[in-house]
Amino acid sequence: MMKKFKYAIAPLAVAALLAGCESTMEPAPGVSAPSVEAERMSELERQNSALRQQNASLQTSLETQSSLSTSDNTGTYADLPPAKPGECYARILIPAEYEAYSDRLLAQEASERVEIIPAQYEWAEERVVVSEGGERIEVMPATYRMVTETVVVEPARVELTTIPARYETRTERVLVREGYTKWVQGQGIIGQSMHGGTVTDVRGTPTGEIMCLIEVPAEYNTIEKQVLVSPARTEQVQIPAVTRTVTKRVVDTPATTRVVPIPPTYDTVRVRREVAPASERRIPVPATYKTVTKQRKVSDEKLVWREVLCETNTTPDVIRRVQSALRREGYDVAVDGVLGPGTMNAIEAYQRRENLGTGGLTMATVRSLGVM
């Protein structure tokens, strides 16, 4: 029966939720249909989430009861209590019952107490070494004498001296233009002007034009230029060493050491000697017990039919009164008349705190909250 009930409760709860929402979500005057539909879908989602949580809680309770007992798995609802029309019942998980009892427990095991017996001493005189013998090292200082010696301040060296190149000024005749010949116009034929005659030639008669070929001599310039007589060179110059006579202090006899023995010293002192060593004595300590109060299980948790508030017999006003009572008990829930996840979580927390059956909003929980 529990298996069938487990699979049948979810669709029944959703159907009841839809029917309840259809009866409660009427559009108010002046409110648009899309807005009402959006609020209706939001409300359906919240209540559907709450029903899924209740279904999961009931499924856990049913599985627990199935593991505890198989006597109820008959596949029928014959174990339902007698009810009146309009009443709803649900299987509620009744927590296990415990009783207190006293138990004698070992507080401290038996042991031993150890007592220390101190050692015993006496005073006596004893010759003791105040300082150990040893050796002392004496240092014999060194002796010195003054000596004179020649110190080279600057060693002899060879330096290179540069001798510059030597030049002299010479005069040189340089050809500027070579000699050449050219034709120039003549002044007249010799003999014609002197005798008043004409020069005749069997080949022709002169026209009076006279051209003479003359020789133009070459042109020269005289220039001065620097001629290298001897090139630049270097010569080695010997620089003698520079010395100085100094007087310095040198060791004549080096420092030495010698070992001087030191004898030990003694003194007579009063000392405390041990006569008997320290010892211990073990004393047995009995065990101690204490009585503590414990709890043991009297009955296991079980599933029973209890009257609950459901969609059939629950109104938003009842839910608001339950939410107000939960807020008075210190639970943070919204007073909106909707049995949402926050309200169901607060109801289950209150049931566990008051050791009430969990799995839904039972009448016992409602009465405990003072709603009915």
Where exactly are the structural domains of the chain?
2-100+296-368
pLDDT tens track for 148-191:
888 888 888 888 888 888 888 888 888 888 888 888 887 766 65
Cβ-contact 59, 93 below 8 angstroms: no
Phi, psi of 223 (to 5 degrees): -125, 155
Interatomic CA distance for residues 51 and 53, integer angstroms? 5
Summarised one tens digit per residue, pLDDT across range 206-250 is 666 788 888 888 888 888 888 888 888 888 888 898 888 888 888
The pTM (predicted TM-score) of the whole model is 0.29
Q: What is the mean pLDDT of the chain?
A: 76
Which among 120, 121, 117, 90 is positioned nearest to 2, based on CA atoms? 90
By the 10 Å C-beta count (0-12 exposed, 13-18 middle, 19+ buried), 223 is classed as exposed
Distance CA 274, CA 133 (A): 29
Reduced to 3 states, what is the DSSP secondary structure of residue 289? Answer: strand
Reported as a pLDDT band with limits 50, 70 and 90, residue 68 is: very low
| pLDDT of the residue at 208 | 67
57: which 2 tokens?
């809680």
Three-class secondary structure of residue 210 per DSSP: coil
Q: How many CB atoms lie within 10 A of CB 42?
A: 10
How far apart CA 308 and CA 302 sit, in angstroms, is 17
Could you tell me the CA-to-CA distances from 120 to 16, 117, 276, 282 in Å, in that order?
96, 9, 5, 20
Q: What is the mean pLDDT of residues 317-324?
A: 87
| pLDDT level of residue 354 (50, 70, 90 thresholds) | confident
pLDDT at 207: 67
DSSP secondary structure, 119-163, as one string: -EEEEEEEEEEEE--EEEEEEEPPEEEEEEEEEEEE--EEEEEEE
Residue range 281-317, pLDDT digits in tens: 888 989 888 888 888 888 877 777 776 666 666 778 8
Report the Cα–Cα distance between both ends of the chain, in Å, rounded: 32
Which backbone phi and psi does 90 adopt, to 5 degrees? -140, 155
